[in-house]
Amino acid sequence: MTDSHKYIKDYPRPQLVRDEWQLLNGEWDFRFDDGFEGERKKWFNTLEGARTTIQVPFTYETKASGIGETTFHPCVWYERHVAIPTQPENKRVILHFQAVDYLAKVWVNGIYIGLHEGGYAAFSFDITDALEPGGDNRITVRVEDSNSTAQPRGKQRWIDKNFGCWYVQTTGIWQSVWLEYVDALHVKRAKITPRLEDSAVTFDYELANTVRSFEGLTLQTIIRFKGTLIRSTETTVDRASLKVDLSVLNDAAEWKVYTWHPDTPNLYDAEVILKKDGQPVDTVYTYFGMRRVAIKGSNILLNTWTIYQRLLLDQGYWEDTHLTPPSEEAIIEDIDKTLALGFNGVRKHQKVEDPRYLYWADRKGLLVWSEMANAYGFNDEAVQRFTKEWMEVVQQNYNHPSIVTWVAFNESWGIENIPREPKIQAYTEAIYYWTKSYDQMRPVIVNDGWEHTVSDIITLHDYEERGSVLEARYRDKDKLLSNDITHDTHRFPFAEGYAYKGQPVIISEYGGIAFKNEDGWGYGNQVSNEEEFLKRYESITQAIKNLDYVSGYCYTQLTDIQQEVNGLLTIRREPKIEMEKINRINKK
């Protein structure tokens, strides 16, 4: 299913692959700690009291966890005994968590290892010094969650019941847990930047902070395309971070450079070998796509060509597993059905997606807007929490060629007074400029939907159900974008003091059509049958296409989610409408 020579099914971090690893998903001991007594009673030494078991990485709120209780519990504990193989001298054992919501503390054999705050970013600990190599080792995790609106939570409810478009909360481990066995001298991070205009790629490497001496160290970077060697270079290492620039030109190939595009999602494989005195001590495998995203006037370009984005809002929920994909096959199914429906991309809404999803989006050529989960209050605590986690997320997902846009905030959530309050406006500008300082490749949208401050793309949300009204509302571009009128939400496109500067415009939420026989809600009047659905879908979609200054759209949404039943598919991924009929309208 892939050209990658190093694809490993269920490998939790496909952007940096090693051979020696161990998945820790599966059965763990588990218990609630509503009284916050576990640390005082030293449960990290032994998990006392009434415990049960849970299937990691599914949270206790899900059926797949084996518990399926949706009541909020502010503190939970996990414990698992793991046999660690005896490692050769100089080997380190790294414990990885792909995502834990929200504040995680970790002990190994009763020894405190560290903590991480943030529900969507991955984190790791070197646990070597706490281990009993070759014997039984106990990993204990305490997770504290809250209903605070200062906490980035996305679509997770903060009251006892579901409401509006907010769903059951996610508490605890919700993505893979795994071990990795590495040499003390190893590559910690590789930031890969394609430079299509130069037919070259830049690798910014960071070595582990355990590296104390660089004597005799070299780093070899090998690039291949479908097994054919493109370039190989070996660089002397004299510091913990280094940069390697390589050409990707293949003079024997017709097009010289194999570009990444939805029609041709070409990927180069890279093998990175860290050597000590000429002998390999660490080998990692990664990949990259040669593509360039740019803004030219009111157009969005991909590899110098204008691209019209047909996006599908995708919140990434499943019936029995909520935010956690039930399997890698389920991830592939979602991507395949998105493409079969005639969309060329998704807006991953209020969720930072599993790295395996991004891997398959890279492989299959699906455009991705990567959006952060928002908080719902504005204060110093909210600012600090959001900023820290946003920076982690952007750094972790930077290498994925499928990600073509960063979205920081949605519909002024957590920044409600942005139209008039200078300090909130300054905050959004700070997020924008930090993101641009780290990533010059991608457009950044600060506040998707309305009340923009600085933004590379102007996005508007409109759930009008009549195509003629929708088209008429947006026909006068100058009037709309001068803040003279509001759009459907009675919100203005820009915050006070900001103005349109010729950016591309995308209708980034519309539609949301639901059927009358469904138990839940959608946007506008519900339709009775397929004929009514298709008539309305075509009417509003074509209305957007008729606006020559609009660069694309994002339809709400891929699947039903709990009480929200406006998906093109049910929560079980069953099509409500023949997919080919939607495809024809999208590509018309």
Give the DSSP letter string of 131-164. --TTSEEEEEEEEE----TTS--TTB-SSSS-BT
Find the farthest-apart pair of alpha carbons in the chain and give their distance in angstroms, rounded: 73
Q: For residue 286, what pLDDT is reported?
A: 97
Structure-token pair, residue 197: 């205009």
Q: Which one is the CATH code of 21-183: 2.60.120.260, 3.50.50.60, 3.40.50.720, 1.10.40.30?
A: 2.60.120.260
Q: For residue 2, what pLDDT is reported?
A: 44
Using only the alpha carbons of the chain, give its radius of gyration: 24
C-alpha–C-alpha distance, residues 214 and 240, integer Å: 8
C-alpha–C-alpha distance, residues 192 and 208, integer Å: 17
What's the average pLDDT block by block, 10 residues per block, for the chain (588 residues)? 71 96 98 96 91 96 98 98 87 96 98 98 97 90 98 97 97 98 95 97 92 89 95 94 94 87 97 97 97 96 97 98 98 98 98 97 98 97 98 98 98 97 98 98 97 98 96 93 79 95 98 94 96 98 98 98 98 98 97
314 Cβ partners below 8 Å, 6+ apart? Answer: 334, 338, 346, 347, 348, 349, 557, 558, 559
C-alpha–C-alpha distance, residues 553 and 311, integer Å: 6
C-alpha–C-alpha distance, residues 139 and 109, integer Å: 6
Q: For residue 486, what pLDDT is reported?
A: 72
Distances (CA, A) of 543 to 339, 414, 465, 536: 22, 32, 11, 11
Torsion of CA 8, 12, 15, 20, to 10 degrees: -60
Nearest Cα neighbor of 413 from 380, 434, 456, 382 is 382
Nearest Cα neighbor of 435 from 497, 504, 387 is 387
Distances (CA, A) of 482 to 13, 117, 230, 462, 501: 45, 41, 50, 18, 10
Find out whether 401 and 268 touch, Cβ atoms under 8 Å. Answer: no
| Domains of the chain by residue range | 21-183
Q: For residue 1, what pLDDT is reported?
A: 39
DSSP letter assigned to residue 423: H
| DSSP three-state, residue 530 | helix
Indicate the burial class of 38 (C-beta count within 10 angstroms; 0-12, 13-18, 19 or more): buried
Per DSSP, what are the bridge partners of residue 546? none
Q: For residue 4, what pLDDT is reported?
A: 53
| DSSP three-state, residue 304 | coil
Q: For residue 90, what pLDDT is reported?
A: 82
DSSP letter assigned to residue 509: E
Record the pTM.
0.96
Q: What is the sign of the dihedral through the CA atoms of 101, 399, 429 and 311?
A: negative
Indicate the burial class of 172 (C-beta count within 10 angstroms; 0-12, 13-18, 19 or more): buried
C-alpha–C-alpha distance, residues 248 and 250, integer Å: 6
